Chain A
C-alpha cells in the first residue's frame, strides 16, 4: 500500500500517518486483530438477536385457522388409501400418481404429470457463475427409470395467476413409507381446504415429487422445466411409456415461496411433536429470514410444536465450550452488577446449544451442499424451506396430528398469501443460533473482518521493508539510475501466478480421474495427489527454463516479497469468497490467516534464543501441516466422529460431493487455499 515516505518531507496527511503507524506496528496489530476475530466468533451466540417478523404484510396468526376436523379426516382417509395401495400392489409406478391426480381432480384442481430423468452428476465447478441452465442429458433409459411428479394447481379466486405458492411432498413411488404417506395426507387436507377458500390471492401448486432418483433431483427437474419455455424433449417418449397420462405442462405464476413437507418417523426423544427446519441451499444461500420466522412463530405459538434447527451433537458435551459458557455467564453477571442495563450474559446451556447450532449452521453453509430439496428453489431465487415434522403419537392420534400440521401449513400459506411483493424485507445473509435467534451479516462480518484485517497490513509492511532495505550501491547509481526497485515484486508475482495456474489444473484433475471405471475412493485420491505432484514438477520445470536470467543474484529479501504477494493473494481470495459464501471464507480464514502470517523461512537466522527459534519453527511446521486440506479434514472428521471411522478415501468422497453439487467451496479449496499452502511451504523452505 503506502510506501514509507522519507521523513524529511512535509507532514503527511492524517490517513497516511494512521496507515504508516499501523504498518509499522503490524505485528502487534495482527496479534490483536486475530485474537479479537476468534473471540468475536466465539461470542456470536451472545450477540445473536431474537428473530422478528420484519415484513408487516405477513401478519402471521392473525386469522383463525379454517382447517377443520373434516379436512383432517379427509387427509387421513387419503393416507389410508395410499397405504392400502402400497400394501396391495407390488408394481412400482403409476398407481400413487394416479390416485393423487384423481383426488386433485375431485377438488376441481388442475393436474398434470411431469416425467423426468435423473441427471447424472457432472463435473461443473464453474456452474456457479453461469446461473441455472437447462441442460438435459439424453441417455439410454427405460420406462421404469422415469420419475413421475404429480402437479396439482388451484387457481386463486382473487389472484391474477401471476404468483404462486408451492407445497412439495416428496415420496418414493417404489417404496412409500408411513411418513411420506402422512406428508401426502397433510398436503391433501390443506389442498382440499385451499380449493374452497375465498381469500386465496396466489395460486397453489402441490408438487408430489417422486423421490425415486433423490428428492432434490425430482424437484430440480420440475423447476427446470417450469422455468424453461421449451418442453419438447420428453414429449416424444410419451406414447411409449404410459399413454394414459396427459402431459400438458401446467404453470402458475412466479413462485413467492415454497414449503417442503416431510414427516419423519416418530421419535420418543421429545415430549412434544417437533418440527425441524432445514434452510441451507447451495453455496450457503439462505431463504429470507421472514419465511423461517413465520413458520417458527406459527409452530410455537399456534400449534405448540417444538421447533429445532440442526446442531452438531458432539459439541454439546464438549468441556471447553462449557467452561467458556461459564466464563461468559460470569462476565455477564459481573457486567450486570456494574450496570443493570448491560444484559449480554446468557446461561451456559443456552450458550453451548447456541454454539452447537451455530457450528452446524456454519458447516452446512460452508459445505455449499443443499440440505434438502428446498435448495433447488433457491437457484431460481425462490425462498423455500424444508419442514421435517417428527410426530410423537400412536396410530390413533394420526388424525389429530394431521389437523395440527395442516393448520400450521394453512397459516403459513395464508401469511405468504398476504405478501404484495417478493420476500425482501428481512435478511438473506445470517447464521442461526437457535430457531428464534440469528446473527445477521452485520454482526458476523465483524469476526471475519477482524481476522483478515492484518493481511493487507502485514503484506504492506513486508513489501515496504523488502523494497526499501536494498543494499545501497555506489552513490551515483542509487541516486540517478532507474533501479526498478518498485517493480521487484514482479518475480514474486510470477511465482504466485504460476502456482495459481497449477492449482487450476489441480481443480480440473478430478474430472479426468472420475472417468476411471471401478476405482475405489482411496485409489482416486492417491492418483489425484500423484497427478498434482507430477503437474507441479512439470510447471516447476517450465518457468525454470526461461527465468534463469532473472534469478542471477538471489536477493536476500526475496522470501519477504514472496510472502507479501502470497498474503495479498490470500487476502483477495478470502474477500472474494466471503462474498460468495461467507461461512467458507470464515472457516478458511481460521486456517489460512495464522499460517500465512506466521510463516518464516526455516533457515532464517533472526539471532534469537535457540528455544524461541525452535518454537517458531515448530509452530510454522505445525500450522503448515494443518493447512493441507485433506489432513485438516480427516482430523476434524476424526475429532467429531471418532477416529475409527475415518478412512483414507473419505476426503475424495467429500470433494466429489462438493463438485457434484457445484459448490464454490471446492473452487475455494483448490484455487485459493491450496496455492497459498504451497507458497507457504515455498517460503518455509526458502534458502536464505
Chain B
C-alpha cells in the first residue's frame, strides 16, 4: 500500500520517471508470464463485470450474430466490446491472445498515473495558495510540502493491487482511468474532459455516477481548500492590516467564495452531449440485439440486482445467497441506498474538499458495491495518498497497513481451503471479506477524521493572533 510513499518523498522528477518506468517494465514482464500466474480466474481480481475472459466470450457471441448478453456471460458495455473485443481474438505470432489486452491495461495504468501526478501538482499548488491566502505560509515554511502527486502516482504504479489487477486480464484499469480522467478534468478546469470522464466511467461501471457531486463542487468552488468561512475572516483581517501598510498588493488573487454557476451549467451541457453520444453509439451496436433496454437490463440491472452470487471480496454475495427470496428485493434496495445515504452528509461536511470527497465516495462504493475487486481499492488508495500533506497526522496507519497486508494474504488461502481442500467452507472466505470491509471502514473513518482535524488546526491557527 503505502510502502512507496517514503521512497517517493523528497525525490526529484528524475526519481519519479525512474520508478515509473521500472514499474511499467515489471508489468510487462509479469504480463508475459501471466498465463502461469493464472490471476484472471481469481475472484479477488476479476469480477463478472470486469473479466476480459467474459468479454472475449461476448465478442464471440457477437461475431456469431447472437446477442453478446445472451447466456449471462458478459455484462459490460457494448462499446468496450467493440474496442477490446478484436484485441482478445487477435494473436501475435504464437503468443497467447492476452498480451495485447495486457498491453492496453499497462498503458491505461501509466496514463492514470500521469493524470494522478498532474492532479497532485494542481492540488499542491492550490494548497500553497490557500495557505498563503490565509497568511499561514510563514508558519509552514520550515516544513516541506511533499510532492503528493508524485507520491500518489508512484503508489498507484507500485501498489500490488494495481499490478495484480493490471496483469489479471480485466477491465478495471480502464475503468479507473476514466474516473481519474474525470477528476483531473475537473481539477484542471477542463469542463468537457471532466464531463467525458464522468460519463464514460459511469457508463462502464455505474458507481462513479455519485462522483457528479464532487465534480460539481470542484467546478463550482474550485480545488480543495480549508473551509471558506476562514477565507472570509482572513480576507477581512488581512485586508485591514494590508490596507494600512501597502495598498497596491491588495489586488492579488484571493480565493473567491462564489459558486461558479456558469461552469457547472457548462458541465451539465457537456455531460448531456456525451451521454447522448454514448447512448447513440450503444444503440447502434445493440440495434439487432434488443436495443438499449436490453443493454440496461443486462449491465446496470445485473449490477444492481446482484444476480451473480459467485464469491468475491465483497459482502453482498454471501448475504444474498443466504437471504430468503421473499426479502431479496427489499435488501437489494437497502444495500444500495446505503451508498446513497452517505452521500448527502459527506457532501455537506466536506464540500470544501471535493477531491477528498471523491476518495471517500470511491472507498464507500468499493466497499458496498455488488462486485468489488482489488482494482477498486487500488484506485482509492492512491487517491488517498494525494492528501499526504493534510493526512500527516492520520492515526492507525500502521494498523491499517498490517490489516490490508494480512487480509490480502489470508483471502486466497481461505479460498484455497474452501474450494480446493474442502476442509473449510464459505464462512472462512466470507470472514476475510468482512475483515476487508471493516478495514476499509476504518480507513475511511480515520482519514476523514484526520482531514477534519487538519481543518480544525488551520482554523485554530487562523483565529489565534500570531
Contact = CB atoms under 8 A, between A and B. Distances in A.
Interface of A: 1-3, 128-132, 285, 381, 422, 428-429, 463, 476-477, 480-487, 489-491, 493-494, 497, 546-547, 549-550, 564-565, 568, 572, 575-576, 579-580
B410 A576 contact: yes
B392 A579 contact: no
Interface string B117-158: 000000000000000000000011011000000000000000
Interface string B392-418: 111111110110011001101110110
16 contacts: A1-B396, A1-B399, A429-B423, A481-B140, A481-B142, A482-B143, A482-B392, A484-B392, A486-B392, A487-B6, A489-B397, A490-B3, A494-B6, A575-B406, A579-B410, A579-B413
B420 interface: yes
Nearest to A429: B423
B285 interface: no
A428 B423 contact: yes
Contacts of B142: 477, 481
Given A477-B142, A481-B142, A486-B394, 20 more contacts: A3-B396, A128-B416, A129-B416, A131-B419, A285-B423, A381-B420, A381-B421, A422-B422, A428-B422, A476-B139, A480-B457, A481-B143, A483-B393, A489-B397, A491-B6, A493-B401, A494-B7, A546-B15, A568-B398, A579-B410
Contacts of A285: 421, 423
A3 B395 contact: yes
Contact of B461 (A132, A480, A564): A480
B235 interface: no
A548 B244 CA distance: 48
Contact of A487 (B5, B410, B414): B5
A131 B396 contact: no
A482 B461 CA distance: 13
Given A285-B423, A482-B143, A568-B402, A550 B6 contact: yes
B421 to A, nearest CB: 6
Contacts of A491: 6
Nearest to A131: B420
B394 A482 contact: no
Interface residues of B, number: 40
B10 interface: yes
A487 B389 contact: no
Contacts of A547: 7
Contacts of B463: none
Nearest to A580: B413
Interface of A is mostly: helix
A-B pairs, top 9 by smallest CB distance, nearest first, are A482-B392, A381-B422, A428-B423, A490-B6, A131-B420, A572-B406, A481-B143, A484-B392, A489-B398
A487 B397 contact: yes
Contacts of B406: 572, 575-576
Residue of A131, A481, A484, A546 with most chain B CB atoms under a 10 A cut-off: A484
Contact of B139 (A481, A486, A490, A575): A481
Given A128-B416, A490-B6, A494-B3, A483 B392 contact: yes
Contact of B412 (A129, A477, A575): A129
Interface string B163-197: 00000000000000000000000000000000000
B2 interface: yes
Contacts of B397: 486-487, 489
A497 B399 CA distance: 16
A580 B38 CA distance: 20
Interface in B431-466: 457, 461
A580 B414 CA distance: 8
Contacts of A476: 139
A493 B6 CA distance: 10
A381 B416 CA distance: 12
A117 B6 CA distance: 53
A482 B393 contact: yes
B6 A575 contact: no
Nearest to A283: B421
B6 A579 contact: no
A476 B142 CA distance: 12
Nearest to A577: B413
Nearest to A130: B38
Nearest to B460: A480
A372 to B, nearest CB: 18
Given A477-B142, A494-B7, A486 B395 contact: yes
Contact of A579 (B394, B417, B422): B417
Nearest to A133: B38
B381 to A, nearest CB: 14
B3 A485 contact: no
A555 B404 CA distance: 27
Contacts of B413: 129, 576, 579-580
Given A484-B392, A491-B6, A572 B423 contact: no
B38 to A, nearest CB: 7
Interface string B1-14: 01101110110000
Interface string B32-68: 0000001000000000000000000000000000000
B398 A463 contact: yes
A497 B3 CA distance: 8
Contacts of A428: 422-423
A572 B10 contact: no
Given A428-B423, A487-B5, A580-B413, A549 B402 contact: no
A483 B457 CA distance: 13
A490 B402 CA distance: 12
A671 to B, nearest CB: 11
Interface in B338-391: 389
Nearest to B1: A493
A549 B10 contact: yes
Residue of A422, A476, A477, A490 with most chain B CB atoms under a 10 A cut-off: A490
Contacts of B457: 480
Contacts of B394: 486-487
Contact of A480 (B10, B15, B139, B409): B139
A549 B406 CA distance: 30
A485 B394 CA distance: 9
A485 B393 CA distance: 7
A249 B417 CA distance: 30
A568 B392 CA distance: 22
Contacts of B7: 494, 546-547
B137 to A, nearest CB: 12
A549 B395 CA distance: 25
A487 B412 contact: no
A550 B15 CA distance: 15
Contacts of A485: 393
A489 B420 CA distance: 37
Contacts of A422: 422
Contacts of A2: 396
A57 B421 CA distance: 24
A480 B393 CA distance: 11
B431 to A, nearest CB: 11
B392 A487 contact: yes
A572 B399 contact: no
A562 to B, nearest CB: 12
Contacts of A3: 395-396
Residue of A483, A489, A564 with most chain B CB atoms under a 10 A cut-off: A489
A579 B412 CA distance: 11
A134 to B, nearest CB: 14
Contacts of B6: 487, 490-491, 494, 550
Nearest to A489: B398
A128 B143 CA distance: 49
A575 B431 CA distance: 14
Interface in B86-140: 139-140
Contacts of A1: 396, 399
Contacts of B419: 131
Nearest to A664: B413
A532 B273 CA distance: 61
A491 B405 CA distance: 17
Contacts of B414: 579
